[in-house]
């Protein structure tokens, strides 16, 4: 194997999101035996991490690990060993080692006390710099040349003894992850990239859209395919989005793909039974309008009342109390990748070994949203990216260790 730079092995990380930076840290900790270079196509590192922290950086979740792993659903068996190796407890300890104390919110989600991602990213980049990691920005990777070196859009090349691909999925493309890497891997089985943790299109009436677009629906429950999730949603001009909707996005998306649409129900008063609600609504209305009656007796918000009226205008004859407990909503399409929080699809899990190395490309590893897994918001996305980045980093060290006896076992 070629060993440039006075016997040092070169490792290239493509992408400076959480997965790529974590892989870089794991590898760089072995010291001078390995040099690590992170290539980022954007002008600065960690842009999606910074965006994720705008509303409070949710790094992981405090629930028991068996429940935590189950959140990855179809990928749970594959993700389990990665999370055992780099657990939520380990991620919290790592965050605090950067001087970012954490706390557990009322929902069980874990946040840095600063609530922002910028202090964490600054401390992380400083640590990586101290470890000797080189960051090259505005470096757009375009594949490999005939000699196996990495090609970049500016015409430069870089030869590496191992490579970690951490280019993300295709959500928030303006931050750098646009899914363009899929065209560079024609020999690798890929599941189509699809929006995850996304909103969905609804054919609102013009009246409803004008009155309620941008308005939140608070303290609701969303019901689909026998599952119920409490939380909030937001009425969009062209549909509905928000935390409770995101939590159902995977099964709803697949139902739409199979049947062309999906019928979801919203419980506008999950804290009341149908019987208790019916008793309130049976009180005399007098001369009050239906809207006023629903506001006073059912304590519905204007947007919630609008949803009930949308159903009634569509001819729904369900008794009023039952309707409030399960307002039907026909979802016709997921919002596009540019509006999605994360991405489903990517490199098929059968294409990588337990070290996250591509079977067909020895010495090339993949991490983060490039791989075909998805998870809900709530800390699971960040944890999954960080755990896979850590696994890829250790995989690189294991790979190099097979070629160089001087490389230590690492952290």
Residue 144 pLDDT greater than 70, yes or no? yes
Structural contact between residues 289 and 263, judged by C-beta atoms closer than 8 angstroms:
no
Residue 175 pLDDT greater than 90, yes or no? no
Block residue for tokens 């009180």:
283
Residue 285's CB: how many other CB atoms inside 10 A? 13
pLDDT at position 408 is 45
pTM assigned to the model: 0.91
* 108's tokens: 């069980």
pLDDT at position 410 is 39
Residue 291 pLDDT greater than 90, yes or no? yes
**Angle in degrees, 0-180, between the axes of helices 88-97 and 380-401, rounded to the nearest 10:** 80
Residue-wise burial string across 163-174, b where 16 or more C-beta atoms lie within 10 A, e elsewhere: bbbbbbbbbbee
Residue-wise pLDDT for 2-45, tens only, equals 334 444 899 999 999 999 999 999 999 988 789 999 999 999 99
* 243's tokens: 């935390």
Q: What is the mean pLDDT of residues 93-109?
A: 95
Pairing of strands 34-39, 134-136: parallel
**Rounded-to-integer distance, Cα 111 and Cα 60, Å:** 7
Q: What is the mean pLDDT of residues 251-280?
A: 96
**Rounded-to-integer distance, Cα 30 and Cα 28, Å:** 5
Q: Which of 140-144, 154-158, 235-239, 398-402 has the lowest mean pLDDT?
A: 398-402
End-to-end CA distance of the chain: 24
**Rounded-to-integer distance, Cα 157 and Cα 101, Å:** 40
Residue-range domains of the chain with CATH: 4-195+344-401 (3.50.50.60), 200-334 (no CATH)
Pairing of strands 109-112, 134-136: unpaired
pLDDT at position 176 is 85
Residue-wise pLDDT for 362-411, tens only, equals 999 999 999 999 999 999 999 999 999 999 999 999 999 887 544 544 33
**Rounded-to-integer distance, Cα 86 and Cα 82, Å:** 6
- Residue 219: alpha-carbon gap to chain centroid: 23
**Rounded-to-integer distance, Cα 261 and Cα 281, Å:** 32
**Rounded-to-integer distance, Cα 217 and Cα 235, Å:** 7
Q: Which residues contact 368 (CB under 8 A, 6 or more apart)?
A: 15, 17, 18, 19, 20, 166, 167, 168, 384, 385, 388, 389
Q: Which residues pair with 162 in a beta bridge?
A: 11
């Amino acid at each position: 194997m070629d060993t440039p730079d006075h016997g040092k092995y070169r490792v290239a990380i493509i992408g400076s999101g959480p997965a790529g930076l974590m892989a870089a840290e794991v590898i760089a900790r072995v010291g001078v035996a390995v040099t690590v270079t992170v290539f980022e196509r954007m002008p600065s590192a960690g842009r999606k991490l910074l965006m994720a922290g705008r509303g409070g950086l949710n790094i992981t979740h405090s629930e028991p690990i068996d429940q935590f792993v189950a959140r990855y659903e179809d990928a749970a068996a594959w993700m389990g060993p990665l999370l055992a190796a780099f657990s939520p407890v380990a991620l919290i300890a790592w965050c605090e080692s950067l001087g970012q104390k954490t706390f557990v919110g009322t929902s069980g989600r874990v946040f840095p006390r600063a609530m922002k991602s910028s202090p964490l990213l600054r401390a992380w980049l400083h640590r990586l710099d101290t470890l000797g990691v080189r960051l090259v920005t505005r470096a757009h990777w375009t594949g490999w040349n005939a000699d196996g070196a990495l090609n970049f859009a500016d015409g430069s090349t870089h030869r590496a003894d191992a490579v970690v691909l951490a280019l993300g999925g295709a959500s928030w493309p303006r931050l750098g992850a646009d899914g363009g890497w899929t065209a560079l891997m024609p020999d690798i089985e890929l599941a189509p990239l699809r929006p995850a943790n996304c909103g969905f299109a609804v054919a609102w009436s013009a009246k409803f859209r004008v009155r309620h677009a941008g308005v939140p629906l608070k303290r609701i429950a969303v019901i689909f395919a026998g599952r119920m999730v409490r939380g909030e949603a937001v009425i969009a001009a062209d549909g509905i989005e928000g935390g409770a909707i995101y939590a159902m996005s995977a099964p709803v998306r697949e139902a739409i793909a199979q049947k062309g649409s999906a019928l979801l129900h919203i419980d506008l008063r999950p804290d009341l039974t149908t019987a208790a609600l019916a008793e309130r609504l049976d009180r005399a209305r007098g001369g009050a309008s239906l809207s006023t009656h629903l506001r006073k007796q059912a304590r519905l918000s204007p947007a919630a009342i609008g949803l009930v009226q949308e159903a009634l205008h569509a001819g729904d004859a369900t008794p009023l109390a039952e309707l409030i407990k399960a307002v039907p909503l026909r979802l016709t399409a997921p919002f596009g990748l540019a509006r999605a929080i994360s991405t489903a699809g990517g490199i098929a899990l059968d294409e990588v070994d337990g070290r996250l190395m591509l079977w067909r490309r020895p010495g090339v590893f993949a991490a983060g949203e490039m791989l075909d897994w998805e998870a809900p918001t709530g800390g699971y996305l960040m944890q999954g990216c960080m755990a896979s980045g850590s696994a890829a980093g250790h995989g690189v060290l294991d790979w190099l260790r097979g070629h160089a006896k001087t490389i230590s076992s690492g952290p």
